Structure 1
Amino acid sequence: MIKIVADSSTLYSKGEGEEKGIIIAPLAVTINGNTYKEFEDIRTKEFIDIINEGHIPASSQPSIGEVLDIYDQYPDDEIINISMADGLSGTYNSACVAKGMAANPERIEVINSKTLCGPHRYLVNLAVELVKQGKTKQEIVDEINKALEDTKSYLIPHDFDFLVRGGRISSLVGKIGSAIKLVPVMTLAEDKQSLVKFTTKRTFKKAIAKIVEEMIECGVDSNCKIYISHACIDELAEEAKNIILNNIENADIEINLLSPVFTTQGGPGCVSIQYIRKHELLK
């Protein structure tokens, strides 16, 4: 039997993952002296309330021991662990180290999804469907690796402070941007291992318009799945959805609430726009 493992970058809790046939290893956040597993010990709204009290958060990946425990629960099964992008987190490395420590490590395959959140969720959903289709472990790995190549992500932080804390931009650039009220847009670098500047606009609407412009240039259409994820800012998510729908005919859009870990990276009120080209099984 083939088991699909992932982390909570998929925006699935352990319970939600179990319902879909996915084993989830939760990421964690530390704030105000306490460490919480996201979705299990703390939810996004509660987490943002603590941030708004003046506390600065940090995030961490599942420990090697936690991942090894998952592997060891299924000693007779093949396992495909689809991890969030290597470079954005140590999750992929932890999964690989745990594989080396597990019994019969050759039964385990660790995939660097090169993405996170919405497209990551899509890839694990696809893996589950491929298992149902009776595909072999290698066939599933090949299909996932093919699917992850046609995806892109954009992040609009609520302000520059969280980008500065994360080392994404310098404190000087952050101060200038905040002073003139710019809306920054970040995207994954070509190597998929870091966030880089995509554009800076005067308004949120213009920032979304620029993202949509590039998406259209890249051939994004109804054959792509578009994800809008946000940190408790429903009105901006809906505004982004409407702009996309006005420009991409029959766009397939899903809106999700970001988890505490990704709120740590983008800050309360941040919004991400992502897309991935659909696989024939999930059209």
Structure 2
Amino acid sequence: MIKVVSDSSTLYSVNEAKQNHLDVRPLFITVNNKSYKELEEITTEQLVHLIEEGAVPTTSQPAIGDVVEMYEQYPNDEIINITLADGLSGAYQSACMAKSMVDHEENITVINSRTLCGPQRYLVDVAVKLAQAGKTKDEIVNEIEALIETSTSFLIPKDFDYLVRGGRLSPLAGKIGGLVKIVPILTLAEDGTRLDKFATKRTFKKAIQSICEALIEKGVNEDYKIYITHAFDEQLATDAKEIIIKKIENADTELMLLTPAFTTQGGPGCISIQVIKKHDLLK
């Protein structure tokens, strides 16, 4: 049998993953010197409240021991682990290290998704469907690798401080940006290792419109899945969706709440727009 596994960057909790024939291990959030498994021991709403009270959280990849334990649950299966983008997290490296620590490492394939959140969730869903359809591990890996090439991600933060803290902006640029109220847009680099500056706009509406123009230029249409994820600001995400469905004909959109880890990285209120081409099995 083939078992698809991943991490909570898929926006799946452990129980939700099981219901979808997956196995995931949570990323960790550290707040006030205490570590929590996201979606298991802390929710996005709870984290936002802690941040509002002055907490400064940090994140880390799933514990290697947890990943080893996950692998060891499937000693007789072929395992495909589709991880959060290498470079944005240590999840890929941990998955590879854990692989070397088990007896059946030759049965484990680790894929660097080069993405996160919505598109990563889509990749694991497709991998499960392919396995259920009787595809071989090599066939599944090849199809997943092809889908990875179609993914694009944009981030609009609400608070510059989180970008400054994460090294995405200099303190001076962050201070000036906050004063002039510009809306920065970051895009995930093609290799998935970093966020690059895409553009700055004067309003949120213009920022979403510029993202739509970039997506249309890329060829995004009804054959793509568009994820609109937010860090506890559903109204802003809904506003983004309304703009997108007006600009991209027959856009297939889905609104989702970001996990605590990505709320920590992008800051409360951030909005992410991500796309990935649909696979025939999930159309």
TM-score (norm 2): 0.99
Unmatched tracts of structure 2, length 5 or more:
none
Rounded Cα–Cα distance in structure 2 between residues aligned with 1:178 and 1:248? 30
Match for residue 165 of structure 1?
Answer: 165
- Aligned-partner SS, 2:193: coil
Match for residue 156 of structure 1?
Answer: 156
Rounded Cα–Cα distance in structure 1 between residues aligned with 2:173 and 2:210? 21
Give the letter for the 1:66 counterpart. Answer: D
Match for residue 40 of structure 1?
Answer: 40
Matched residue pairs, number?
A: 283
Match for residue 204 of structure 1?
Answer: 204
Quote the offset at 1:280 in angstroms. 1.2
Quote the offset at 1:262 in angstroms. 0.1
TM-score (norm 1): 0.99
Rounded Cα–Cα distance in structure 2 between residues aligned with 1:54 and 1:203? 28
Match for residue 130 of structure 1?
Answer: 130
Quote the offset at 1:159 in angstroms. 1.3
Quote the offset at 1:272 in angstroms. 0.2
Percent identical among aligned pairs is: 59
Quote the offset at 1:5 in angstroms. 0.4
Match for residue 274 of structure 1?
Answer: 274
Q: Hey, which bits of structure 1, 4+ residues long, moved more than 4 A?
A: none
Match for residue 195 of structure 1?
Answer: 195
Q: Deviations over 1:60-115 (max 9, x none)?
A: 00111110111111111110000010000000000001111111211000000000
Q: Deviations over 1:120-159 (max 9, x none)?
A: 0000000000011001111111110111100100001111
Give the letter for the 1:249 counterpart. Answer: E
Match for residue 21 of structure 1?
Answer: 21
- Aligned-partner SS, 1:265: helix
Rounded Cα–Cα distance in structure 1 between residues aligned with 2:264 and 2:188? 17
Rounded Cα–Cα distance in structure 2 between residues aligned with 1:212 and 1:240? 10
Confirm whether residue 74 of structure 1 aligns to residue 65 of structure 2.
no
Match for residue 91 of structure 2?
Answer: 91
Rounded Cα–Cα distance in structure 1 between residues aligned with 2:114 and 2:190? 10
Q: Deviations over 1:132-191 (max 9, x none)?
A: 100111111111011110010000111110000001111111111111111111111232
Q: CA RMSD in A?
A: 0.7
Rounded Cα–Cα distance in structure 2 between residues aligned with 1:277 and 1:143? 12
Confirm whether residue 62 of structure 1 aligns to residue 62 of structure 2.
yes
Rounded Cα–Cα distance in structure 2 between residues aligned with 1:221 and 1:96? 35
